[in-house]
Structure formats: structure tokens, C-alpha cells
Homo-oligomer: A and B are copies of this chain.
Amino acid sequence: MTITGEMLIGAESHRGGQGEVRAVDPASGAALDPVYGGGGAAEVERACALAWAAFDAFRETGLEQRVAFLEAVAQAILDIGDALIVRAMAESGLPRARLEGERGRTVGQLRLFAQVVREGSWIEARIDPAMPGRTPLPRADIRQRHIPLGPVAVFGASNFPLAFSVAGGDTASAFAAGCPVVVKGHNAHPGTSELVGRAIRAAVADCGLPEGVFSLLFGTGTEIGTALVADPRIKAVGFTGSRRGGLALMEVAARRPEPIPVYAEMSSINPVFLMPAALAARAEALGAGFVASLTMGAGQFCTNPGILLGIEGPDLDRFAAAAVAALGGSTAATMLTPGIHAAYDDGVTALAGSGAVTTLARGLACNGPNQAQAAFFSTTAEAFLADTRLQEEVFGAASLLIRCPDAAAMGTVAERLEGQLTATLQMEAADEAAVAALIPVLERKAGRILANGWPTGVEVCHAMVHGGPFPATSDSRSTSVGTLAIRRFLRPVCYQDLPAGLLPEALHDGNPLGLWRRVDGTLGRD
């Protein structure tokens, strides 16, 4: 498969004429070929027109046809072969093993959604049979299913060039729901995006689906993304990225004549609570484990542990010393883009310069462009509560230890945190009472609460929640990882007394699809 520098607008390959997008190898600083011509309003118009034209047909594909499509996309990505890994390495600075793992995750995610589609519970079929003899008024026959919202705009993320990008979780769950997808590719990895985009396009054609089921656009600046979200044929938005970017898309979506849902995963500092008994039992191991989580992937995870809370004392000092030792020996790692690297350096410089913050350790010095030195800071609970800037995410391997005078102060800090993707508890049995008091707060603050692990590493499964209250995401009612993500792109519709021949198959008498259905309130496979 060749990289051409073109956008994919349905079946058409198109070179844009508005500015240029070009990837940079962050490890060398070298610009990578080809140069991508940026798109604008005209390309958005064409992609959205095709997506709209494809919607009614795509959303009524049978379950097995939808399954076949998702599996074809997965296989087509694998079929690109090593060229995909090589290009993604060059565009992201991420190592081979990580990207091979990420490809496995991406393919596994598509296949998991294929299983979800086949199982069919996402349709949430409900049937309340007619009661013609009911008094004073008879009841009509009422049947409900969920249908897709419409074409979805997906914004690829920089930090997972495969798993949260062109064929990532947003795209997979939107396809599973029956929504055509228009991707705005991330400018950091256009070649990776094009390769994956061509794989999807091949799967669309092989499965006999309308070409508008998928398009991939590139563009400089914010114009193309704004135009995409503002297009009346787009009915939902999936985004993973910065808080500023997410807020901008939310505003565009809210100002449309017809506002639409935005699922933006934006900003989280993922607090880790170091409970007293856990510190007493294993402060050194916790220090080492923390640094391993912090520096993984150059710290470029949404669930990176950005703050830690512990109660002042010798055990916390042991933890800090172990973390300082581990972090001091951590090698500098190449970040995804020069821009992300610069923002990391700015964030670290700001933290280091805050009068209320002490620099505990820095990682080993850089020996190449765009490398980040890990950073570990400390402050007091009092100072943290006094300065909301200390809650701002520094994207990368920087973390802040908050020394609390007592358990109550830990609770106070927890209560003052913004919404988070995760909250982590390092605890022993003796900490259970204190943790039990924290959990109601953490449930209100975070989408995932974990014990005795680290927040990096998000399992793609049925029970996962990768979401959380604002500003972790724009919509806490959903998750962007795991099978529940499909619900973001669905809405309920009901049919009252519709003749049997006009009802969708999922609601037919006799349950021909073998679905779980709620009949008169009772769940079963009637």
C-alpha cells in the first residue's frame, strides 16, 4: 500500500490545496514525505454529503453484514503489514513493541465490537404488547429500538496513532452503531492515517457498502475541524485531545442551529492516593511502580498519574526517596511532536518556578531532539488547594506529590479535584475504613477507581469506563473505551401499532434475530 499524500473522500482520492500538512520524525526532527495538501470547506462538504447519502443504507445493514465489515477493517489493517508499524514509528517516535501492541489493541477492539454487534443487546429492543381490552383505554402495541444518530466526526488523537486515531475506538464504536464516519486525521501522523484510511476504504468496498461510510480529511489550522463539526449532516463528534481543543469543539457543536453531542476526552491528572498502611508495607515498591507508570510511553497517556497524595511522615518520605531514585535514572524519551515537547517543557518550567512547589527529581538528560526529561515535584495540600493552576494537566512524564497533614486533608483535596478519568488507591486491608470514606468522593470525581495498580493501561473490555466528569470528558454519561462506547452514537425510537411488515426485524414477533428483548418489562430471549 502506497502513501500518496491524498485525502480519502469516499472512493475518491483527493489532494487538497489549502496549506500543507507534513509529518516530522520527532526523533530526528526530519520532515517526512509525502507532503499532504490540506482540505477545507469544499472537502468537508463532499465528505459529509457522501456520509449523509450512505447513512440510511448503512444503518440498516444486517447484523452479520455489520460484523463482516468490522472484521474486514481489522483484517485490512493487519494486511498493511510492517509498513504501518514502520511509518507509525517514524511519525510518533514510539517504539516498535508499543506500536505492535497498539495495532493488536486496535484490531482487537474492532473484533470486539463485531461481537457486540452480533450479540445485539445494543439495540435494546423493547416490546409492550397491545392490551385491547384494557379499561378505561386500550393500550397500543409499542415497540422500541435504538438507531444510530447519523454521520459522526472523529478527530484522531496524537498519542495513540492507531488505537485512538483513524480506526480507533471512536470509529469502531460509531461503525458498530451504524454511523458513517468522517475522520479529521491528526497532523502528527498523516501517513499512518492514510494507510489505515485506505484499509478501511478497501473494507467498505469489499463489503459492498456505500462509499460515504468512511472519509478521511487532513487540514491545517482549525478551519476544517470547525467546518466538520458545524456541518448539519454531522450528528455527533468523537474527540481525544487537549482541553482547549475539546472546549472549542463543544462550543461549535452547541452553537449549531441543531446542537449535537460531543464526546471529548480532554484532560485528567489521575490522582493516586497512597494510603498509610500501603506506604508502611511497600513504600519502595510503590515508588518504583509509580515511576514505571509515569514514564511509560514518555508519559503520554491520558491516564498518566499526574498527582499523588499521601500523609506526611517517614513512610511518605521513603516513597518519595524511592521515586526520586527511580526517576533520576529514567532515560529521556522522545515525545510525539515538537509542539507536545515544547508544551511539556513549558509546563514543567512553570511548576518548577512556582514558589509553592519543590522539584524532587528530574530524569536523565536529553540526548536528542524532542526528548522529555521526566520530572517529579512536591507541594503541600494547603498550597495545592490555594492554587488551581497546580491542577492543570502537564501532558508528559511530570507528576506532583501532595503532602497532606492527615487523612482529612487528603479528603479535602479529593473533594476539590476536577473531574478525572481515574482515581487510584494504593492500600492494604488496614486502609479499608479510610478508603471507604474516600470512595463516594472518588465516584463523583472519576470514571474508574482502581486499587493497587496504576492507571496507565486501559483494558478494552465490557466493564471498562474510560470517561468521567468534566473536564476529564465533555459527557460523563459515556465511555470512549470498552463496549459501552457504542451507546454514544445511538438514540431510541419507538413504533406504535406499526403493521408487522413495516417493523424493523429486531422488533418482529418471534424474535427472528434471537435478541435479548424487554417484553412488557421483562428481559428475556422470547
Q: Nearest Cβ distance between residue A105 and chain B, in whole angstroms?
A: 11
Please give the number of chain A residues whose Cβ is less than 8 angstroms from any Cβ of chain B in the complex: 77
Q: A66 near B: Cβ within 8 Å?
A: no
Q: A290 near B: Cβ within 8 Å?
A: no
Q: A386 near B: Cβ within 8 Å?
A: no
Q: Nearest Cβ distance between residue A99 and chain B, in whole angstroms?
A: 15
Output the nearest chain B residue to A258 by Cβ-Cβ distance: B470
Q: Nearest Cβ distance between residue A120 and chain B, in whole angstroms?
A: 11
When the two chains form the complex, which single residue of B258, B435, B463, B521 contacts A462, counting CB atoms closer than 8 Å? B521
Task: Report how many copies the assembly holds.
Answer: 2
When the two chains form the complex, which single residue of B139, B419, B479 contacts A459, counting CB atoms closer than 8 Å? B139
Output the nearest chain B residue to A441 by Cβ-Cβ distance: B56
* CB within 8 Å for A451 and B496 given contacts A461-B139, A463-B126: yes
When the two chains form the complex, which single residue of B56, B127, B498 contacts A450, counting CB atoms closer than 8 Å? B498
For A495, the chain B residues whose CB sits under 8 A away are: 448-451
Q: A389 near B: Cβ within 8 Å?
A: no
In the complex, the answer to whether A435 meets B470 with C-beta atoms within 8 Å is no
In the complex, the answer to whether B476 meets A491 with C-beta atoms within 8 Å is yes
Main SS of the interface on chain A? Answer: mixed
Stretch at the interface among A4-12, A37-45, A140-148, A354-362: A140-148
Output the nearest chain B residue to A449 by Cβ-Cβ distance: B495
**Contact flags (1/0) for A102-139 with B, using CB distance below 8 Å?**
00000000000001000101000011100000000101
In the complex, the answer to whether A147 meets B443 with C-beta atoms within 8 Å is yes
For A337, the chain B residues whose CB sits under 8 A away are: none
In the complex, the answer to whether A150 meets B461 with C-beta atoms within 8 Å is no
In the complex, the answer to whether B490 meets A140 with C-beta atoms within 8 Å is no
- Chain A positions 481-503 with a Cβ under 8 Å from a chain B Cβ: 483-484, 490-499, 501-502
When the two chains form the complex, which single residue of B128, B449, B483, B497 contacts A496, counting CB atoms closer than 8 Å? B449
9 contacts between A and B (CB under 8 A): A128-B462, A144-B464, A144-B465, A147-B443, A149-B477, A448-B493, A448-B494, A449-B493, A449-B494
